[in-house]
């Protein structure tokens, strides 16, 4: 009897496991021309959700047979983990308006994304909307698996109240050169105006370098990405200067080695923060803030400084059964009108060419955003290469070891990371 | 005067007279059943057997299979190659400095956590077994951390051991630099103490239960022979709860080797510079965050073997006659 029971249990389990594993995705040939109701996922940013809800209402009024259901991306440590899990489970939404370009190669490897340029006119649409910057978002095989949607160009936000408390001029902050930035930071911490001059996360997650080293390196190098033409670029004089600058901040305890649990800038624990235009909405009622570009060793003018885009794309996922509808929704949601509505609702920069010239009235009414709009034309993306996450993780490990905790000289760490990343790129 | 170690008899059944088997001749001569388990028994155990099969056996077998292949997770219906790579994933695991560091970290963790857990919980259980004022309150108080969510407890410890935390404020100039949670030497010991404190309530309960089976006559005999409290504790209590000590040690090793939440939350993902990374945390980072389930599967298999060996060793040591 037990043997029979055991055999029955085993058969049931294997059948269930096989059924679960064998769940097929939609047939691409049918799905490409299919129309019907779709689901769209948005980030949990309140302003984005407000915009998305209105956008969906507008679409649903005009398309009662192809209705959109809008939801927030399922909760996870990061959106990318939740999206990866949904790809594997075959439960992702048709469209996700918050896809990190760094994760696109991994999602592509998982067969989770639909090439957008399979739709007629898609390539032209993407290039006309975004301009030459769109090429940064092509996969290595030349396809567009993401539509560059919006950016949050990284700049240095500062708290004017804390600057005043430290005896600094908040209207003319000295933050342009490394030397000025360090002197200002010392005054802030030594005066006790704030425990930290700036407080980026010291964590070892692969994406944390996008908010400390990467914008510094892009600014210092005149717009170099981490990897170009299959070769790491950061083991260079510009990379070493940027790393040494941050090492000085950590060594002099102007930046804490602990990760703050919460928003250090919002809670007045740090005088500065690396942030995009989302911060204007977030802090407009709580902080009297100013914004400047990332510093460079020679203090070059703002008009010559590039930064990290912190861009998020819109992508179509392979679980989508009604892809013709999804493509139309994608175009509707990134139309000139909806981009304007998104800009007004969130303050984040749609990935459009000549943004300030496209929405002149809005920028005239909201001058605080003009600095960001100008910076948005000079942004650099994460490299769109296979093994992207491995590349960033390798870099971050070297960064925390050397720059944050001082267990290795930054120059040696950059050299080692460059060598390791070259191996990773060759392996992929 | 020395008191020899005495085995607890507790509520053990009365042994049969020497030279005589406990089972009756009738039982001995009864023909063996064809199936040792009666049908209702099989029915009763089948839900749990099914649960074990689905939740443990199948995933373990699948993990083993993945660990010998170049594998990644894909969308349903996607065609991809998962070539056999032999021991390549295991080679990657054993040559990865972060993995090796994580096993060293766990060794440090276990070396601090397991003895601390065993000693503290036994001492506290003995104290709480005595007639104390507010005994029920203390029993509940020690149990509270065990049933409280880790996230909430971690927030308390960050408040205590953060650079600007209460402990550093009390220590003043004596505070370690770098601070506790970002100090490569101190981060893991802090986690070991944290986990010992968090789990203490459960292990105190285990020992309290075990103490109820230690015969009071043994304490009286020890007292008649002139043993003080410490001698009674060492010679009566400690050997009397030896099976519980085995359970506590093995359970502490298993939970310790599967450490995840504490380095994930308390030290920001195994920091500083992987000084508090655990093998399970590395599995999560490589398998989920970085998309290398084959590497994570091989590491998981190694960890299972590591835990089995350590648990057998602990059992051997704690069950050894005193």
Examine the predicted complex and report whether its ipTM is higher than 0.85: no
Nearest by CB to residue A13, choosing from B42, B53, B178, is B53
**The predicted structure's pLDDT at residue A117:** 94
With a CB-CB cutoff of 8 Å, which residues 206-245 of chain A face chain B?
206
User: Any chain B CB within 8 A of the CB of A426?
Assistant: no
Residue A213 has pLDDT above 70, yes or no: yes
**The predicted structure's pLDDT at residue B38:** 63
| Residue range A249-262, pLDDT digits in tens | 999 999 999 988 88
Average of pLDDT values for A12-16?
A: 50
Nearest CA in chain A to B183: A405
Interacting residues of B316 by C-beta distance below 8 A, sequence separation 6+: none
Q: In A, which residues are within 8 Å of B74 by CB distance? A: 87-88, 109-112
Helix (H/G/I), strand (E/B), else coil: A199: coil
Q: What is the CATH number of domain B95-319?
A: 1.10.3720.10
Task: Determine the Cα–Cα distance for residues A328 and B8; give it in Å rounded to an integer.
Answer: 78
Nearest CA in chain A to B165: A258
**The predicted structure's pLDDT at residue B33:** 57
Contact at CB, A109 and B290, closer than 8 angstroms: no
Q: Residue A308: which of A386, A223, A374, A242 has the closest Cα?
A: A223
| Residue range A367-425, pLDDT digits in tens | 889 999 889 889 999 998 989 999 999 999 999 999 999 999 999 999 999 999 999 99
Task: Determine the Cα–Cα distance for residues B273 and A307; give it in Å rounded to an integer.
Answer: 27
Nearest CA in chain A to B284: A81
Contact at CB, B290 and A389, closer than 8 angstroms: yes
The length of chain A is: 428
Task: Determine the Cα–Cα distance for residues A395 and A388; give it in Å rounded to an integer.
Answer: 11
The domain limits of chain B are: 95-319
User: Any chain A CB within 8 A of the CB of B176?
Assistant: no
Helix (H/G/I), strand (E/B), else coil: B72: coil
Identify whether the C-beta of residue B301 lies closer than 8 Å to the C-beta of residue B287. Answer: no
Nearest by CB to residue A25, choosing from B50, B78, B288, is B78
Identify whether the C-beta of residue B290 lies closer than 8 Å to the C-beta of residue A390. Answer: yes
Contact at CB, A13 and B75, closer than 8 angstroms: no
**HSE, side-chain direction, 13 A CA sphere, residue B139:** 17
Q: Residue B234: which of B2, B29, B15, B32 has the closest Cα?
A: B2
Nearest by CB to residue A1, choosing from B35, B76, B164, is B35
**The predicted structure's pLDDT at residue B15:** 39
Q: In A, which residues are within 8 Å of B98 by CB distance? A: 397
Q: In B, which residues are within 8 Å of A89 by CB distance? A: 76
**HSE, side-chain direction, 13 A CA sphere, residue A290:** 18
Task: Determine the Cα–Cα distance for residues A377 and A353; give it in Å rounded to an integer.
Answer: 8
User: What's the token pair of residue A163?
Assistant: 């600057």
Contact at CB, B269 and A17, closer than 8 angstroms: no
Task: Determine the Cα–Cα distance for residues B105 and A375; give it in Å rounded to an integer.
Answer: 45
Q: Residue A304: which of A355, A213, A243, A374 has the closest Cα?
A: A374
- The alpha carbon of residue B204 and the mean position of all alpha carbons in its chain are separated, in whole angstroms, by 14
Q: In A, which residues are within 8 Å of B179 by CB distance? A: 257-258
- CA distances B166 to A265, B179, B265, B282, Å, are 22, 12, 19, 31
- Beta bridge mates, A350: A150
Identify whether the C-beta of residue A54 lies closer than 8 Å to the C-beta of residue A340. Answer: no
Burial (CB count <10 Å: 0-12, 13-18, 19+), residue B321: exposed
| Residue range A183-196, pLDDT digits in tens | 999 999 999 999 99
Q: In A, which residues are within 8 Å of B39 by CB distance? A: 1
Mean pLDDT estimate for chain A: 92
Contact at CB, B271 and A203, closer than 8 angstroms: yes
- From first to last of the 322 residues of chain B, give the pLDDT tens digit: 333 333 433 333 333 343 344 344 444 455 555 556 567 888 889 999 999 999 999 999 999 999 999 999 999 988 888 999 999 999 999 999 999 999 999 999 999 999 999 999 999 999 999 888 888 888 888 889 999 988 889 989 999 999 889 999 999 999 998 899 999 999 999 999 999 999 999 999 999 999 999 999 999 999 999 999 999 999 999 999 999 999 999 999 999 999 999 999 888 888 888 999 999 999 999 998 888 999 999 999 999 999 999 989 888 887 765 4
* B75, B96, B284: best to mutate for the A interface, most A CBs within 10 A: B75
Q: B78 vs chain A: nearest CA distance in angstroms?
A: 6
Q: In A, which residues are within 8 Å of B290 by CB distance? A: 206, 389-390, 393
**The predicted structure's pLDDT at residue B134:** 87
Contact at CB, B288 and A81, closer than 8 angstroms: yes
Nearest by CB to residue A1, choosing from B39, B80, B291, is B39
User: Any chain B CB within 8 A of the CB of A296?
Assistant: no
**The predicted structure's pLDDT at residue B1:** 37
Task: Determine the Cα–Cα distance for residues B160 and B193; give it in Å rounded to an integer.
Answer: 13
**The predicted structure's pLDDT at residue B140:** 86
State whether the Cα torsion A141-A146-A151-A152 is positive or negative: negative
For helices A237-251 and A178-191, angle between their N-to-C axes, nearest 10 degrees: 10
- Only one residue has tokens 């600007």, namely B164
With a CB-CB cutoff of 8 Å, which residues 6-35 of chain A face chain B?
6, 9-10, 12-14, 16-17, 21-25
Nearest by CB to residue B182, choosing from A10, A257, A318, is A257
Task: Determine the Cα–Cα distance for residues B225 and A23; give it in Å rounded to an integer.
Answer: 73
Q: In B, which residues are within 8 Å of A404 by CB distance? A: 272-273
Mean pLDDT estimate for chain B: 86
User: What's the token pair of residue A23?
Assistant: 């769940």
CB pairs under 8 A between A and B: 130
Q: In B, which residues are within 8 Å of A13 by CB distance? A: 50, 53-54, 57-58
Helix (H/G/I), strand (E/B), else coil: A211: helix
SS3 content of chain A, % helix, strand, coil (to 5): 50, 15, 35
Higher pLDDT residue, A428 or B93? B93
User: What's the token pair of residue B308?
Assistant: 């089995």
SS3 content of chain B, % helix, strand, coil (to 5): 65, 0, 30
- Only one residue has tokens 């065609």, namely B79
Nearest by CB to residue A318, choosing from B42, B72, B75, is B75
Helices and strands of chain B, counted as H and E runs:
16, 0
Q: A88 vs chain B: nearest CA distance in angstroms?
A: 5
Average of pLDDT values for A141-153?
A: 96
Q: Residue A236: which of A417, A14, A377, A93 has the closest Cα?
A: A417
Q: In A, which residues are within 8 Å of B57 by CB distance? A: 13
The b/e string for A244-254 (b: 16+ C-beta within 10 A; e otherwise) is bbbbbbbeeeb
Identify whether the C-beta of residue A252 lies closer than 8 Å to the C-beta of residue A186. Answer: yes
Helix (H/G/I), strand (E/B), else coil: A290: strand
Task: Determine the Cα–Cα distance for residues A226 and A388; give it in Å rounded to an integer.
Answer: 10
- CA distances A113 to A35, A91, A110, A119, B122, Å, are 18, 13, 8, 14, 56
Domains of chain A and CATH, by start: 25-152+311-370 (3.40.190.10), 155-308+387-427 (3.40.190.10)
User: Any chain A CB within 8 A of the CB of B74?
Assistant: yes
Nearest by CB to residue A203, choosing from B78, B80, B268, is B268
Identify whether the C-beta of residue A384 lies closer than 8 Å to the C-beta of residue A145. Answer: no
Higher pLDDT residue, B317 or A49? A49
User: What string of DSSP letters covers B159-203?
Assistant: HHHSTTSHHHHHHGGGS-SS-GGG-TTTHHHHHHHHHHHHHHHHH
Average of pLDDT values for A209-230?
A: 96
**The predicted structure's pLDDT at residue B16:** 39
Identify the H or E element spanning A316.
strand A312-316
- The alpha carbon of residue B128 and the mean position of all alpha carbons in its chain are separated, in whole angstroms, by 22
- Beta bridge mates, A292: A156
Contact at CB, B73 and A5, closer than 8 angstroms: no
User: What string of DSSP letters covers B133-162?
Assistant: TTHHHHHHHHHHHHHS-HHHHHHHHHHHHS
With a CB-CB cutoff of 8 Å, which residues 20-59 of chain B face chain A?
35, 37, 39, 42, 46, 49-50, 53-54, 57-58
């Amino acid at each position: 009897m037990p043997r029979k029971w055991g055999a029955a249990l085993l058969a049931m389990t294997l059948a269930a496991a096989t059924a679960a594993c064998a769940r097929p995705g939609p047939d691409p040939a049918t799905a490409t021309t299919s129309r019907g109701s779709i689901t769209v996922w948005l980030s949990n940013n309140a302003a984005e959700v407000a915009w998305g809800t209105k956008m969906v209402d507008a679409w649903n009024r005009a398309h009662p047979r192809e209705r959109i259901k809008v939801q927030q991306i399922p909760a996870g440590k990061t959106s990318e983990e939740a999206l990866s899990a949904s790809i594997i489970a075959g439960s992702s939404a048709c469209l996700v308006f918050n896809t990190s370009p760094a994760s696109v190669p991994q999602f592509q490897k998982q067969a989770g994304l639909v090439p957008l340029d399979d739709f007629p006119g898609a390539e032209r649409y993407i290039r006309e909307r975004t301009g030459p910057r769109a090429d940064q978002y092509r996969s290595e095989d030349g396809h567009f698996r993401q539509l560059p949607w919006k950016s949050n160009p990284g700049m240095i936000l500062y708290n004017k109240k804390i600057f005043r408390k430290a005896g600094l001029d908040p209207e003319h902050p000295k933050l342009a050169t490394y030397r000025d930035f360090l002197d200002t930071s010392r005054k802030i911490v030594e005066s006790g105006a704030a425990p930290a001059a700036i407080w980026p996360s010291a964590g070892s997650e692969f994406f944390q370098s996008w908010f400390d080293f990467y914008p510094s390196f892009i600014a210092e190098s005149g717009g170099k990405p981490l990897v170009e033409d299959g070769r790491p670029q950061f083991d260079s004089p510009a990379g070493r200067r940027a790393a040494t600058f941050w090492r000085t901040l950590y060594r002099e305890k102007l930046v804490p080695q602990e990760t703050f649990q919460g928003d250090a800038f919002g809670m007045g624990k740090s005088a500065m923060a690396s942030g995009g235009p989302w911060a204007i909405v977030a802090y407009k009622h709580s902080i009297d803030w100013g914004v400047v570009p990332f510093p460079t060793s020679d203090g070059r003018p703002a008009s010559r400084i590039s930064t990290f885009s912190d861009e998020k794309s819109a992508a179509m996922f392979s679980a989508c059964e009604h892809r013709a509808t999804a493509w139309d929704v994608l175009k509707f949601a990134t139309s000139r009108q909806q981009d304007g509505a998104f800009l007004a609702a969130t303050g984040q920069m749609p990935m459009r060419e000549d943004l300030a010239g496209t929405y002149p009235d809005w920028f005239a009414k909201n001058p605080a955003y003009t600095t960001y709009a100008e910076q948005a034309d000079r942004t650099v993306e994460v490299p769109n290469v296979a093994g992207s996450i491995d590349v960033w993780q390798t870099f971050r490990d070297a960064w925390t070891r050397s720059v944050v905790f001082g267990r290795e000289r930054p120059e040696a760490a950059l050299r080692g990371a460059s060598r390791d990343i070259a191996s990773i790129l060759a392996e992929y | 005067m020395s008191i020899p170690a005495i085995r607890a008899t507790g509520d053990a059944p009365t042994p049969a007279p020497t030279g005589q088997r406990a089972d009756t001749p009738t039982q001995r001569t009864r023909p063996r059943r064809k199936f040792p388990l009666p049908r209702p028994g099989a029915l009763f155990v089948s839900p749990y057997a099914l649960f074990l099969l689905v939740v443990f056996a199948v995933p373990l077998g699948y993990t083993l299979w993945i660990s010998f292949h170049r594998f990644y997770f894909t969308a349903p219906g996607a065609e991809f190659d998962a070539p056999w790579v032999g021991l390549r994933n295991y080679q990657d695991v054993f040559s990865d400095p972060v993995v090796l560091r994580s096993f060293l970290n766990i060794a440090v963790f276990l070396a601090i956590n397991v003895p601390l857990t065993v000693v503290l919980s036994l001492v506290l259980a003995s104290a709480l077994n005595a007639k104390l004022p507010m005994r029920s309150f203390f029993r509940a108080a020690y149990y509270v951390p065990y049933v409280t969510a880790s996230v909430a407890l971690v927030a308390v410890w960050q408040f205590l051991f953060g650079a600007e935390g209460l402990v550093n404020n009390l220590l003043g100039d004596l505070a370690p630099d770098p601070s506790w949670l970002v100090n490569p030497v101190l981060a893991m010991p802090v986690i070991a103490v944290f986990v010992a404190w968090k789990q203490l309530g459960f292990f105190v309960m285990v020992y309290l239960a075990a103490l109820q089976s230690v015969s009071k006559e043994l304490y009286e005999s020890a007292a008649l022979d002139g043993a003080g409290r410490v001698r009674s504790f060492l010679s009566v209590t400690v050997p009397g709860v030896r099976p519980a000590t085995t359970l506590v040690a093995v359970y502490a090793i298993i939970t310790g080797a599967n450490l995840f939440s504490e380095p994930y939350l308390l030290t920001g993902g195994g920091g500083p510079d992987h000084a508090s990374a655990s093998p399970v945390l590395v599995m999560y980072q490589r398998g989920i965050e970085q998309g290398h389930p084959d590497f994570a599967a091989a590491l998981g298999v190694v960890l299972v073997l590591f835990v089995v060996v350590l648990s057998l060793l602990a059992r051997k040591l704690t069950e050894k006659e005193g």
